[in-house]
Structure 1
Amino acid sequence: MVKITLVAGARPNFMKIAPIIHSLQRHITKGAKLNFRLVHTGQHYDKKMSGDFFDQLNIPEPDANLGAGGGSQAEQTAAVMIAFEKELLANKPDLVIVVGDVTSTLACSITAKKLCIDVAHVEGGIRSGDLTMPEEINRMVTDSISDHFFTTSEIANQNLLNSGVAQERIHYVGNTMIDTLLANRSKFTKPEGELFDALEAKKYFVLTMHRPANVDQEGQLKAMIDAIIEGSQNMPIFFPVHPRTAKSLENLGITYSNLHMVDPLGYLEFNYLVENAFAVITDSGGITEEASVMNVPCLTLRDNTERAETIHLGTNELVGTNPQNLAPFMGKLMKGKWKSYQGIPLWDGKTAERIVGKILEIYG
C-alpha cells in the first residue's frame, strides 16, 4: 500500500490538486494499492478564497485542516511547519505531494524531508529569476530538497537539469491546472447579479492585481489603473479585488464609470469571465496559463515570468510594472493584432493520470 499525503494551502493549489485527487480515486476504485490523505494547511481561509473551490471542483473535505492562516510570511511558515509535523507523525506517509509555490509548499516540503519522507513537487522547476518574489524563494527551496519533480514544460526540465537534478527524477507530465480547466470548461457559470446580466462576450476586460510591486504603493496602483482606464476605450473592466488590494483601493477612493470592482469569484464564475473576455490584464502566473489555453489575449503587469511558455506559445505578453509601458500593448490589442494560442505540449487534460501512473511505477 502506497500512502500519500497531498497538501493544499492557497487558492491556486486547489485547481492543481483536484485532478490528482480524482485520478487517485479512479485508480483506487480499480484496485490500485493506494491510500491518500488530503491536508489543507488553512493558508487561505476566506470562504471565497478556498471553500468554494472545494465545492466547485468536487474535492473531498480535507482529512485535516491545519488552520495556519494569517500573519506574516514567517509566522505562516512556522505555523504550517509545527502543525504539519504533528500531522505527519500521526499519519506517516510514503510520499508527500506539494504543488505550486506558496508558503505551504515550502513549509510542508521542509517538514517532510526533516522526517525523512519523500517529497514530490508538482510544477517543479519553474523560475522567474526574481528573488524579490516570495514565490521564487519557495520554488527554489522546495526544488532543492524534493525527490521527484512533475514538470509543466521543457523549460522547467532544463532549469532542474542546470541545477544538478538527475534526469530520472524529472517527470515531464504537463499542467494539472489545465486538467482542471478542461474538465470544468462546460460548467463555467455566469456570475450572479445585475452587474453581470448585461455582459456582452468579447466586449469587456478582466483585471486582477495582487502583487506587492503593483498594489502596495498607492501611487503606483493609481497610476496603473489610470493607464488601464485610458487604454480601455471605455470598455467595461471587471476587477475581482484580492483582499490585499482592497485596502489600498479604499484609501485611494478610485472611481471610474467603466471600472467594476467586485468580490473574489468562485472558480467557475471567474473562468466564465475570462473565457468570454476581450482580454485579461493580470499580475498572476496561473491566469496567464488559463487565458492562453482559452485563446484570450493576456497582458501581464510584471517584469518577469516563471511561465515563459505562455509567451512563446500562448497569448501572454510581459508589459512590466511601469504604467507607461501599457499604452503600446493596449493599442496593439485594440487594433486586433494580438497573437493566438499555438498549443503547449502535454497541456491536454491528462497530466494527473501521468502523475499517478508514475507514482505507481516508482512506489507500487
Structure 2
Amino acid sequence: MYKITIVAGARPNFMKIAPIIEAIKLHKDLINFRLVHTGQHYDRKLSETFFEELGIPKPDINLGVKSGTQAEQTAQIMIKFEKELISQPSDLVLVVGDVTSTMACAIVAKKLNIKVAHVEAGIRSGDMKMPEEINRIVTDSITDYFFTTTELANKNLLNSGKSKDQLFLVGNVMIDTLNKNINRLSKPSFWDEVRLEEKSYFVMTLHRPSNVDEEYKLKSLITTIVENSKGKPIIFPVHPRTKKLLQNLSLNFENLHYVEPLGYLNFIYLIKNAFAVLTDSGGITEETTVLNVPCITFRDSTERPETCEIGTNVLVGSDLNKTKDAFDILNNGQWKEGKSPKLWDGKTAKRIVNELIKIFKIG
C-alpha cells in the first residue's frame, strides 16, 4: 500500500484535487491518501464551501496557517507541514497549481527525502513580479514527477533540464471538475433580484496587486469597464483583499453589483451564462475557454497562452485603449470562436492516477 499526501491550500487547489481523490478511490487497494489543508485561504466561501460542493472528504488535518506576508505565510506552512510529514510519513507528496502552499510543501517534502509530484507543472507567464511565477519555478526545480496540461508546459520543463521520463502530459484536471458538475450548477440567490438574463450580463473578478493596489488605477479600470458595458449588469464577486480597497473609492454605478464570494456551483453557473467575463485570473480563463465564453483579461502576460491562441481569451493588460477595442469587438458580435485544447476532456485525473501506479511499481 502506497501512501500519498495531497496538499490543498487555496480555492483553485480544491477544484484540482477533487477529481484526483475520486480517481484514487478507485484504486484504494493500492493507494492510501491523506489530505492536508494548509488553511492558506480561510474565508469560508473560499475554502470549506468547496469541500462540501465538490464532494471532497474532510481534510485529515487543517494546518490553520491563514494570512500574512509572503514570507510569514510560507514559513508557517513549512513549519507546520514538516511536523505533519514527520508524524505521518508518506511515499509521495502531491501538490497542485502555483499557490504558496504548493511551493512551501514541495520544499518541506524534498528536505525530508520524500518524492514530489506536481500537477499543472511547467506553466510559465514570464512575469517575475507575480508571486505565483516564483512558486512555479521553485516547485518545478525540485519536483520529481511532472503532470502537465499542454505540450508547451512539457517544452518549458525540457528547456529547464528535466528529462522526458519525468513528464506526463495528462491534460487539465480543472476541466474534470467542470465536466462532472456542469449539470449541478445552480443560480445564485441574487439572480432574480438583479434581474439577470442569460448572455446579457458580465462577470468580473479582480484581485491582482497590479490592478487593485493603486486606487486611481483601479478606479480608471472599473470606470472604463462600466462605460463600455452598454448598461449590461456587471456582477463583481469581491475578493476580501479587494473589498478593503473598494471601501475608499466612490464607485457607485447603477449596473455594477458587488456580491460576496461565491461557491463553485453558483460561480460557474454565472460564468457559463455570461455575455462575457472580465478578469485578471488565470484559472478562470481555462473555464471560459472550455465553455466558449468571451473573456477579457487585464494582464500583460499569461501562463496559459493556449486560452488566447485557441481559446476565447484576449489579453489587454492595463491599457485602457486596448480594453475599449476589446469591448467594441465584443459588443459588435465579432468575438472569436474558441475550442478546447488537447486532452482537456474530463479524464485527466484518471490519467494522473494511472501514471502514479506505474511510478510506484517501477520505483
Query: Which of the five TM-score ranges fits, normalised by the shorter chain?
Result: over 0.9
Output aligned runs, 1:262-281, within 5 Å: 262-281=259-278
Q: How far 1:321 sits from its partner (Å)? A: 1.6
Task: After superposition, give the CA deviation of every residue in 1:339-359 in whole Å (9 maximum; x if it has no partner).
Answer: 122221000000000000000
Aligned residues: 361
Letter matched to residue 341 of structure 1: G
Task: After superposition, give the CA deviation of every residue in 1:204-229 in whole Å (9 maximum; x if it has no partner).
Answer: 00000000000000000000001101
TM-score between both structures, scaled by the size of structure 1:
0.98
Letter matched to residue 141 of structure 1: V
TM-score between both structures, scaled by the size of structure 2:
0.98
- Alignment match, 1:108: 105
- Alignment match, 2:25: 25
Conservation of the 8 A alpha-carbon contact between 1:98 and 1:121: yes
1:3 is the counterpart of 2:3: yes
1:126 is the counterpart of 2:120: no
Output aligned runs, 1:1-364, within 5 Å: 1-28=1-28, 32-193=29-190, 196=193, 198-364=195-361
SS in 1 for 2:26: helix
Conservation of the 8 A alpha-carbon contact between 1:7 and 1:97: yes
Alpha-carbon distance between aligned partners in 2 of 1:86 and 1:313, rounded to the nearest angstrom? 44
Task: After superposition, give the CA deviation of every residue in 1:321-340 in whole Å (9 maximum; x if it has no partner).
Answer: 22332100000000111112
Conservation of the 8 A alpha-carbon contact between 1:190 and 1:196: no
Alpha-carbon distance between aligned partners in 2 of 1:141 and 1:58, rounded to the nearest angstrom? 31
Q: How far 1:33 sits from its partner (Å)? A: 1.3
| Structure 2 alignment gaps of length 5 or more | none
Conservation of the 8 A alpha-carbon contact between 1:201 and 1:277: yes
Conservation of the 8 A alpha-carbon contact between 1:10 and 1:42: yes
Q: How far 1:196 sits from its partner (Å)? A: 4.8
Letter matched to residue 289 of structure 1: E
After superposition, the CA RMSD in angstroms is 0.9
Letter matched to residue 15 of structure 1: M
Alpha-carbon distance between aligned partners in 2 of 1:196 and 1:38, rounded to the nearest angstrom? 39
Conservation of the 8 A alpha-carbon contact between 2:123 and 2:303: yes
Label 1:268 to 1:229 Cα distance change in 2 as closer, same or farther (>3 A): same
SS in 2 for 1:27: coil
Label 1:82 to 1:160 Cα distance change in 2 as closer, same or farther (>3 A): same
SS in 2 for 1:108: helix
Conservation of the 8 A alpha-carbon contact between 1:187 and 1:268: yes
Conservation of the 8 A alpha-carbon contact between 1:227 and 1:324: no
Alpha-carbon distance between aligned partners in 2 of 1:285 and 1:253, rounded to the nearest angstrom? 28
Alpha-carbon distance between aligned partners in 1 of 2:91 and 2:191, rounded to the nearest angstrom? 50
Conservation of the 8 A alpha-carbon contact between 1:113 and 1:119: yes
Conservation of the 8 A alpha-carbon contact between 2:196 and 2:233: no
Letter matched to residue 109 of structure 1: A
Task: After superposition, give the CA deviation of every residue in 1:62-116 in whole Å (9 maximum; x if it has no partner).
Answer: 0010001111111000000000000000111110000000000010000000000
| Structure 1 alignment gaps of length 5 or more | none
